Amino acid sequence: MKRRIPVFIIPVVVAILVSAYVFLITERQRSFTFEFNEYENLQIPTSQEAIDHGRHLFVTRGCVDCHGDDGRGSVIQEGWFTGRITAPNLTSGKGGIGDERSAAEIIRAFREGVKPDSTSVLFMPAHKFSSLNEADVTAIAAYIKQMPAVDQELEPTVLSLPIRFGYMFMHRVELFPARNLRHPLELSNEIPVTDLEKGAYLASACAGCHGYGMDGGPIPGVPPTWPEAPSLRQDGPTADWSLEAFVTAMRQGVTPDGQHLDEDYMPWTAFGKLSDEELKLLYEYLQTLE
């Protein structure tokens, strides 16, 4: 008699084959290399004013959300869906990469999403920093390079199979940020002049969640359980906020209707460190987005 394959074996085999396909494709993309700017010829400032400015950007651009206020790094998320997502220790302490990375390599990582081996960093929203001008990227690098050493050894990022599926089929997970940028990126040395230009420049920090057009939607690179980012244009909830209400939301995490902004989703504590003038410029720019 001919033996029949049990019915339940077929979906098991299909699941194994699909999983193997997803794993191999994502590993291939993980090893893909990119062209990049050298940055070695950039002059890294040493003045305290520049370092303080780098510190200001490190905070207000959200670096502290993952790497910590002192750059020690952290395990951002760990679970069955994500695996382990780790933001590395940026200092020269035990477990840190501070002594291993030059200023040029640091800039390349946060601005272009490219590691020293030319492959993409994992998860880090490099597109938030790609529009920064030369003065700002060198200031950030200057600040990072002089951070006091902090000893903290962290387990490396591990990509689970579910998050690989999410990356390939759900289009909400961004594993390899360098793939979303055109390389090598041109580095501008232009300084915003008009209030509108300054506001738009500040708003580029919001692009990581709210999108380049500030029209909100699913947030790339986060677990699927996260809520969508609201629009910051004139069709969004902030359209009728006053400047005072906007500043209160950024500084205290409370909206005009009394809603408390969840710091896990909206890093208002970082944006609240913007100066009064910067918040005013950002608010006035968002008000122009029809």
**pLDDT tens digit sequence for 137-153:** 999 999 999 999 999 99
> What's the pLDDT tens digit per position in 12-45?
888 899 899 999 999 999 999 998 888 899 999 9
Structure tokens at 201: 């420049």
Q: Which residues have CB under 8 Å from 40's CB, separation 6+?
A: 102, 104
**Architecture of the 48-73+86-150+174-180 domain:** Orthogonal Bundle (1.10)
In the chain, the N- to C-terminal Cα span, in Å, equals: 73
**pTM, two decimal places:** 0.88
**Spatial distance between the Cα atoms of 37 and 103, rounded to a whole number of angstroms:** 13
**Spatial distance between the Cα atoms of 232 and 286, rounded to a whole number of angstroms:** 7
175 within 8 A of 122, measured Cβ to Cβ: yes
119 or 186, higher pLDDT: 119
Domain boundaries, the chain: 48-73+86-150+174-180, 195-286
**Spatial distance between the Cα atoms of 218 and 204, rounded to a whole number of angstroms:** 17
CA 222 to chain centre: 10
84 three-state secondary structure: strand
**Spatial distance between the Cα atoms of 67 and 79, rounded to a whole number of angstroms:** 19
Residue with tokens 């359980």: 225
Residue 285 has pLDDT above 70, yes or no: yes
Assess if CATH 1.10.3470 describes domain 195-286: no
